[in-house]
Chains A and B, each alone.
Chain A
Amino acid sequence: MRRTAPLTKLAVVLLVSLWAMLLESAAALGAVAGLLLALFAASRVPAGSYKALGGLGLFALALAAMQYALGAEAEFSLVVGLRMATMTGLFILLLATTRVQDLTAALARQLRVPYEYAFMVTASLRFIPDLLTEIKAVQEAQACRGYAGGGSVTRRLKNYLTIVQPLVLRSVARSETMAMSMELRGFGTGRAGSYGTSIALGGRDYLALAALAAGTAGVVAARFYM
């Protein structure tokens, strides 16, 4: 998907997520998940993304198993797991194949999202990996100090919040600095910019968008009129 425009990729993420929400049969969702895997294979993403995908698969399986254990139908449990996996997988694919600044440029220039919001979206995407590393670092530091992580559920939740809260605050502060520094570097000044080649839509984008539109129409028709 590297030569596909960011706008097209965003459309893929949003519309295929919509499919995943609308579809109710495990077979249909399985087909969508298969499509996603094919996209992964076709776009030669870095190895790290496959690791993320593997973790996601396990998590989806656990989610489905939990639903089943709580008394849901087998098919419903499978649908819940596949839905979650597909929607998250789409994001992983987007992030692995798109430059963050192209995404911001597409949001701001083509979708006319106000710059501040475009900044915020991309800034939070940019900081997810950092955030995960930091959470791990804090947990390791706590383990070093002999913190075992046991106790009642509420206690554990409290402990978890004490880790997460400063990290979230810090990443909010950071994304503000980042938005500021992007502006300091001339982003969003209303000049034309030369993103031309990296965000412009080409023939393959229009083809993909047409296919998406047709697919969406099909899914909607199947869901509401059949």
Chain B
Amino acid sequence: MAAIVFDDFSYAYDGTTKALDGIRLEVAKGSFTVVAGPSGAGKTTLCLAACGAVPHYFGGSMAGAVRVAGVDTAAGSMGDIAAHVGTVLEDYESQLVTMTVAEEVAFTLENRGMKHETIARRIGEVLAQVGLAGLEDREVGALSGGQKQRLAIAAVLATRPGILVLDEPASALDPEGAEELYALLAGLNRETGMALLVVEHDLARVLAYADQMVVLAGGRVACQGRPEDVLPAMWRQPGLAAMVPPLWQIKLGLEEKLDESFAAWRNEEEAAAELGGFIAARRRGGEKSA
């Protein structure tokens, strides 16, 4: 059973203009799925549909279905869905509801009826994971934007959800912070099999981890599949080529120029290794023919 299934799902906030239009998408158990696309493409709406806020909170009209852990989101309540899915919204600041950092994490756990000793232990663990250790008693209002964003993520991670939906989780983080966050998420994804649905417009940040990429445009799926298939398809579309990570722009550009094909690079090291071997082979070939 897949973690999240969009089954020909369409949705309009106002009943007429479709924010999502005929979405067919499957996020497998243990998948690291990344959603990208231009502003207004429907990425946030997709996240809201995955956690049941659409349609439960926004009303509007929908067609098709979304199933989370096998349950139809329109039939189950947001609370039922929340038992399977952890969600961090685009507007993470209004997701913070308590006065202090430790209370913020405790809030989610208290709602699950956890024991106080367990809560205290989890708070320490999860704050260390996101790099907020030692700030337990800090007032939430006194945190920086990036710290608030990490706190919102920690508060959701603390419940160890089987599925995690994150809408631009690194928007307030500096480059190192974003790198650390995605390394942490990828680690959890590998070790616990947590399925991820992440909106991230900077695909370079997730290139090393994503096993599925989805590009939305105008509420429809423009491309979808394994990164090694999606990135070349994006490269061929004028509107989407600029979203291809620089490393893959180099790869695809070189492949065109040299009429070669390289492996699906996940990071600079892999690229450097393959290109090094390629150059050495060429040089040997050149010496031989000379």
Contact = CB atoms under 8 A, between A and B. Distances in A.
Interface of A: 99-101, 122-123, 126, 129-130, 174-178, 180-195, 197
Nearest to B57: A180
Interface string B99-139: 10001000111111111100100000000000000000000
B69 interface: no
Interface residues of B, number: 33
B97 A182 contact: yes
Contacts of B80: 189
A187 B111 contact: yes
Given A177-B91, A183-B79, 20 more contacts: A99-B98, A101-B98, A101-B103, A174-B91, A174-B94, A175-B94, A178-B95, A181-B87, A184-B87, A185-B156, A186-B79, A186-B83, A188-B79, A189-B78, A189-B82, A191-B113, A193-B111, A193-B113, A195-B110, A197-B116
Nearest to B51: A184
B112 A186 contact: yes
B82 A183 contact: yes
Contacts of A189: 77-80, 82-83, 111
Nearest to B80: A189
Interface of B: 51, 53, 57, 77-80, 82-83, 87, 89, 91, 94-95, 97-99, 103, 107-116, 119, 141, 155-156, 159
A194 B78 contact: no
30 contacts: A99-B99, A99-B103, A101-B103, A122-B97, A175-B94, A176-B57, A177-B91, A177-B94, A177-B95, A180-B57, A181-B89, A181-B94, A182-B97, A183-B79, A184-B89, A185-B95, A185-B111, A185-B155, A186-B111, A187-B107, A188-B79, A189-B111, A190-B79, A191-B111, A192-B113, A193-B111, A193-B113, A194-B110, A194-B119, A197-B116
Contact of A178 (B77, B94, B112): B94
B141 A186 contact: no
Contact of A100 (B95, B98, B156): B98
A59 B128 CA distance: 45
